[in-house]
Amino acid sequence: MLDLIATNSLVRALVLMVIFAVVLGVVILAANAFLHRQARLARLREIGDDRSTITSGTGSLRSQANDGAWARLAAAVEAAGIDLSDTRADRMSDRMRQAGYTSPAAPRIFTLVRLVLIFVLPVAYLVLDYSTGDPPSFVRAYIVCSILAIIGLYLPNLFVQAKIDRRREEIRNGFPDCLELLIVCVEAGLGLEAAMDRVGREMVRSHPRIAELLSMTTLQLRAGASREEAFRKLGKAADVEEIRSFTTLLIQSDKLGTSITATLRVYAGEMRERRKLRAEEKAHRLPVLISIPLVVCMLPTMIGVLMLPAVIRMVRDVIPAMLQGG
């Protein structure tokens, strides 16, 4: 057999084709099995991420561990005799919740960070200044340390406010898409609660803030809360004018018995128009914002390029002629 394969080119070509087909089939079967396994694993990870995002709403395990470490540190500081509670605890808790920090220890951690920054920034400045070998004067050190302490006191407030503004902007930009999906679900025959649950699960990756709010409202409705109570809590948790108006509209529609679909369709049109107006407003602001770097960076260069030939002409011809004439 081996002699026939070695001597006959046709048989050798057929054997090689069979071996190639067998190897190719094995590779294709192995690749398909591997791809199917990877797809199943990816789907399982996606389902796990969706459930953890919807149920917890507090971030990853690492962030939960960090929150626990900060909470333990705040508890240790309070055990040492330093009270970290704020006189306006309710307002501070609302601000932390609006910024995305839902931990009960968030207000105390915020106060602790402010206290630490008040002392850390001046001490860091003094250490750096004395390490240079030229110690500052008392007046200079006092003024700079006072400014750094004030910065450390108000810097966490600016950070939290920036987080709040970013969260509101994300909710405001993603809310029209949420309304469109709600309309599709309600028109398909789902009830309002089932539609909110479905939209919340679908928007976990695209708009996680809105998905968290919808999932929280769905859980409250399933726990036995009335629609009015759940919708009012939704508006308060979002702290966005559009969603507060939306919840008020749903409450009134539920009380009066009007069509939810028509209500959602009208309000979705208004939300799309508002988003379009916000985009146009940002577009109209661009020329004003671009003029600042244009004047600062390009205008001096253009003036120098235009005036340089005249300056060279004056230095070479006009000024020597004036000196010779004098």
Provide the residue ranges of all domains of the chain, joining segments of one domain with +. 2-46, 66-135, 170-279
CATH number of 170-279: 1.20.81
The pair of structure tokens assigned to 256 is 């009066």
3-state secondary structure the chain: CHHHHHHCHHHHHHHHHHHHHHHHHHHHHHHHHHHHHHHHHHHHHHHHHHHHHHHCCCCCHHHHHHHHHHHHHHHHHHHCCCCCCCCCHHHHHHHHHHCCCCCCCHHHHHHHHHHHHHHHHHHHHHHHHHHCCCCCCHHHHHHHHHHHHHHHHHHHHHHHHHHHHHHHHHHHHHHHHHHHHHHHHHHCCCCHHHHHHHHHHHCCCCCHHHHHHHHHHHHHHHCCCCHHHHHHHHHHHHCCHHHHHHHHHHHHHHHHCCCHHHHHHHHHHHHHHHHHHHHHHHHHHHHHHHHHHHHHHHHHHHHHHHHHHHHHHHHHHHHHHHHHHC
Chain centroid to CA 214: 18
Per-10-residue mean pLDDT of the chain, 326 residues long, equals 60 63 70 68 63 46 51 62 59 79 78 84 82 74 86 88 88 85 86 87 86 88 86 85 85 81 82 84 85 82 85 83 72
Signed CA dihedral, 175, 176, 180, 183: sign only: positive
Phi and psi based region of residue 189 (left: phi greater than 0; alpha: psi -120 to 50; beta: remaining): left
Residue 64 has what pLDDT? 47
Residues recorded for the chain:
326
The pair of structure tokens assigned to 201 is 């699960």
CB of 84 within 8 A of CB of 105? no
Residue 53 has what pLDDT? 47
CB of 268 within 8 A of CB of 175? no
Report the distance separating Cα 181 and Cα 166, nearest Å. 23
The pair of structure tokens assigned to 296 is 């600062």
